[in-house]
Chains A and B, each alone.
Chain A
Amino acid sequence: MSLPLIVFFACGVTAVLGAVLLIVAREPIHSALSLILVMVSLAVLYLLLGAEFIAAVQIIVYAGAIMVLFVFVIMLLNAGVEERTNLSKMAKYAGVPLGFFLLLEIAHWFWRSAVGARIANGSGTVNASAVSTRDLSMQLFQQYLFPFEATSILILIAILGAVVLAKRGE
C-alpha cells in the first residue's frame, strides 16, 4: 500500500468513527468534540487532494470559529444528557423507508450515471498537479466576484439577525 492510501484510510476511518461517536454520544459536548475530530480528519484529506487553502479554511473557520460557537452555546445553556424517546409512527413508517430509498438512490447514482461510468473507467484517478492558492484567488475574484460580494451581504444580514434574536430573548 502506498502512503496516500494509508493516509486516506487512516483519516477516513477516523472521520467515520467521529460521525458514529456523534450519533451514539448522549452529552452534546461529546458530540461537538467528535464533530471536531471529523473536521480535522477531513482537513487532512483536503491536503491529500492538493487543496491547501480549503484545508486551512476548514481548520480556521469550521473547527475554529463555528465549533467554538457550538461549544460556547452548549456551555451557556448548560446542555445535559439528552432524553431518549421512542420513534414516532411517522418516523417508523415513513422516515425509515425514505432513508433506505435515499441510500439506494445514492448507490444508483454512483453505479449507473454518466459520472459514475467515467469514474469507473478510471479517468478519475488522474494525479492532478496541486492547485495553487493563487489560481484559486484569481478564479474567486474574477469569475466569482459577484457571488463573493453577495456572501458578504449574507454575513452582514446573519450578524444583524443574530443580534436581533439575542436582544429579543432578554
Chain B
Amino acid sequence: MSVPISYYLVLSAILFGLGVIAFVFKRNIITIFMAIELMLNAVNLAFVAFAHAWNQLDGLVFVFFVIVVAAAEAAVGLAIVITIAQNRRSLNVEDVNLLKF
C-alpha cells in the first residue's frame, strides 16, 4: 500500500505554517531568510506530490524552476544581508527601521 497523497499535502501545509511562524517571530535577518527557504521547500513537496498523483511531469519541472529561483534569491538576499550588517553593525530586523511604518 502506498502513502495517500493527502498525507504529503498535510505535511506540506504543516511545514509551510511553521515557515510562516518562523518568518513572523524570528528577529534575525538570516533566520528570516531561512524561513523563506523552508516555505519554498514546503511548496516543492506539494508540487512533487501532485506530480506523482496525476502522473504528470510539469510539477517536477516547476520544482526545478523554484530551486533555481531560490538559489538566485539566496545569492542576492545574502549580499543585501552582508551590506546591511556592515552598515548597521547589527543583524536584528528591529534596527533596520528606515521604511518602518
User: DSSP majority for the A interface?
Assistant: helix
Output the least CB separation between A108 and chain B (Å). Answer: 12
A-B contact count (CB 8 A): 222
A131 engages B22 (CB within 8 Å): no
- A16–B69 CA distance with the chains assembled, in angstroms: 24
Q: Which of B24, B80, B83 contacts A95 (CB 8 A)?
A: B24
B75 engages A106 (CB within 8 Å): no
If A46-B48, A74-B30, A125-B4 touch, whether A15 touches B15 (CB-CB below 8 Å) is yes
Interface size on A, residues (CB 8 A): 80
- A135–B10 CA distance with the chains assembled, in angstroms: 28
Q: List residues of A (48-91) whose CB comes within 8 Å of B's CBs.
A: 48-51, 53-54, 57-58, 61-62, 65-66, 69-70, 73-74, 76-77, 79, 82-85, 90-91
User: 0/1 per residue, B50-73, Cβ < 8 Å to A?
Assistant: 011101011011011101111111
**Residues of A at under 8 Å CB distance from B?**
2, 4-5, 8, 12, 15-16, 19-20, 22-23, 28, 31-32, 35, 38-39, 42, 45-46, 48-51, 53-54, 57-58, 61-62, 65-66, 69-70, 73-74, 76-77, 79, 82-85, 90-91, 95, 99, 102-103, 106, 110, 119-120, 122-129, 131, 135-136, 139-140, 144, 147, 151, 154-155, 157-159, 161-162, 165-166, 168-169
